[in-house]
Amino acid sequence: MLPLPELESRFGQALSGNPVGELSICSNGLTGAQRLQVYRNNMQSALMGALRSVYPTTERLVGEEFFAATAHAYAKANPSHSGNIQDYGGTFPRFIHSFEPAAALPYLAEVAAVEWLRLETAQAPGHTPMDLAALAAVPRESQPGLHFRRQPAVRIFSSRFPVLTIWEYCQSVAPKTQLDIDLPGECVLFARPALDVYMRRLTAGEYTLLHRLAQDKTFEAACLEALEVEPGFDVEQTFAALVREEILTGFDH
Amino acid sequence: MDSRPPMAWLEVHSENYFAEGGRAVTELDQVRQDYPLSLHGVGLSLGSTDPLNREHLAKLKAAVERFSPMLVSEHLCWVSAGNSYFHDLLPLPYTDEALEHVVARIAEVQDHLGRQILIENVSSYLEFEHSAIPEWEFLRETAARSGCGILLDVNNIHVNAVNHGFDARHYIDSIPAREVQEIHLAGHAEKRVEGVELLIDTHDRPVKDAVWELYAHALQALGPKPTLIEWDSELPELPVLLAEAIKADRLLVHSHAAAS
């Protein structure tokens, strides 16, 4: 009799398409292989469905058939490691990046990355806005040394393609104009002010500021770097906007 | 949900509400204020011989604490091996070895959550040669030994009765009524593979007549039980769903009347 651990291990291998030893499945009119195929189909359609629901814009860009082939190749090489199917597919953008048939669409992996970041933002913990009274109570000379915390849902992404422009273009039902993908690259901010994901473009300075703050640099050090990449960077105005948008939600000394 | 249809309670997949924030969990907080809730999990992999997934269990516990559901359920199956998840409800061999294993796992989960869970029988498309215990006995023993309740899926019983050739009514008659705390109904697909009929659990269409008949039998044998119709893909308009629910309600009320 096949011990349970061995049976499950072999069954799992068989579902993933690897040759296995005997599984002692009753034939009862159909072969074991035909019966296993029902489960393989179910598994594949679950994984395909998960990828389709996270990456609708990627699918829109390449069409159903190409997307299905890409997703199929990904699923074959990347088993799920979570009992929650919503966790599946985080490495799909990286896979697309090195997927030979998609090489002619270099921006595709980056649009996919936008879609995964949207999911992360959508599911992140909530936040409370910055305590402005506490901030006002910090002596002026101590302010440059503060470490600011970002809203937990915040993500930032720097792309060499106009990735948000492409994403927005794909959301329109019937785009009227042709999209020029030779536009400059974009930095994108993802946040969740309330229940829905919010995205906007970041200037190079804003991106650098948020990036450095996430690395726990002081406000002063982060601003200096922002000024280096964007000479006209307006510290005061940018900071006020980031607090108002609830992108920055707290601080430590 | 804005129209607040007159439903007794609601059931959701536990995993869909594992997020720490965002629209889904916030909306469920609101729904929870108007309706009792059942959390129905598909990913705990109780029958797997991998170590119990502590991260998954912790998220389930957080969801249970957040939403205070009236019922928490999982499936009598396995979904993972070697840390790969297959996202389908895979069948166990019905042996003493598997029974002992799954009973211990359910007990561990119940201890961790500090409450009883319900275990649901699954549809299956194959049987193992070394299965020595009939499915209904395996289910009954699982509940008796672990102290879990039973979520009896009448559609899955019908599907398996056709796929494996047993008497669905005998299955139901073998389940102790007091253990059954919920019933599931669902639609299934009829496939023909090499001339052999195979029923597949799909949750994407109305409940079949044969399953309604079996449900009526279940109500007679078990008494009235909270009943849920699972329809989670190819969703129709709300009135179609409500019509199915009303049909189940009529049978329930009828069985109430017959019992009193």
Please give the mean pLDDT across all residues of chain A: 95
Instruction: Tell me the average pLDDT across A217-226.
Output: 97
Residue of higher predicted confidence among B4 and A172: A172
The DSSP output letter for B52 is: P
* Beta carbons of A83 and B43 less than 8 Å apart: yes
Minimal C-alpha gap between A87 and chain B (Å): 10
Residue A241 pLDDT class (50, 70, 90 cuts): very high
Strand partners, B201: B188
Which residue of chain A has the CA closest to B59? A84
What's the full length of chain A, in residues?
A: 253
Kindly provide the b/e burial profile for residues B68-83, where b requires at least 16 CB atoms within 10 angstroms of the residue's own CB. Answer: ebebbbbbbbbbbbee
What is d(CA A165, CA A190) in angstroms, rounded to the nearest whole number? Answer: 14
Burial class (CB in 10 A: 0-12, 13-18, 19+), A164: buried
Closest Cα partner for A88 from A58, A121, A48? A48
Residue B128 with chain A: CB contacts under 8 Å: 2, 7, 23-26
What ipTM is given for this predicted complex?
A: 0.94
pLDDT at A65 over 70: yes
The DSSP output letter for A7 is: H
Tell me the longest C-alpha to C-alpha distance in chain B. 52
Could you tell me if B197 and B162 are in contact, meaning their C-beta atoms sit under 8 angstroms apart? Answer: yes
Element (H, E) at A208: helix A204-214
User: Consecutive sets of 10 residues in chain B, 260 residues long: mean pLDDT of each?
Assistant: 75 97 96 95 98 98 98 98 97 98 98 98 97 98 98 98 97 98 96 90 93 96 94 86 87 75
pLDDT digits (tens, 9 = 90+) for A89-133: 999 999 999 999 999 999 999 999 999 999 999 999 999 999 999
Which residue of chain B has the CA closest to A39? B88
pLDDT digits (tens, 9 = 90+) for A128-162: 999 999 999 999 999 999 999 999 999 999 999 99
Q: Identify the pLDDT of residue A78.
A: 96
* Beta carbons of A79 and B130 less than 8 Å apart: no
What is d(CA B245, CA B258) in angstroms, rounded to the nearest whole number? Answer: 20
Minimal C-alpha gap between B245 and chain A (Å): 26
* Beta carbons of A124 and B20 less than 8 Å apart: yes
Could you tell me if A118 and B78 are in contact, meaning their C-beta atoms sit under 8 angstroms apart? Answer: no
Structural tokens at position B104 = 């211990």
Could you tell me if A84 and B15 are in contact, meaning their C-beta atoms sit under 8 angstroms apart? Answer: yes
What's the full length of chain B, in residues?
A: 260
Which residue of chain A has the CA closest to B163? A28
Q: Identify the pLDDT of residue A1.
A: 84
Q: Identify the pLDDT of residue B241.
A: 86
Minimal C-alpha gap between A181 and chain B (Å): 32
- Nearest CB among B15, B88, B198 relative to A43 is that of B88
pLDDT digits (tens, 9 = 90+) for A177-203: 788 778 899 999 999 999 999 999 999
Interface test with B, best of A8, A34, A39 (most B CBs within 10 A): A8
Contacts of residue B179, Cβ cutoff 8 Å, sequence gap at least 6: B140, B143, B144, B149, B150
* Beta carbons of A3 and B126 less than 8 Å apart: no
Percent of chain A with pLDDT over 70: 99
Torsion angles phi and psi, residue B132, rounded to 5: -115, -10
Could you tell me if B48 and B77 are in contact, meaning their C-beta atoms sit under 8 angstroms apart? Answer: no
- Nearest CB among A5, A32, A122 relative to B126 is that of A32
Residue B61 with chain A: CB contacts under 8 Å: none
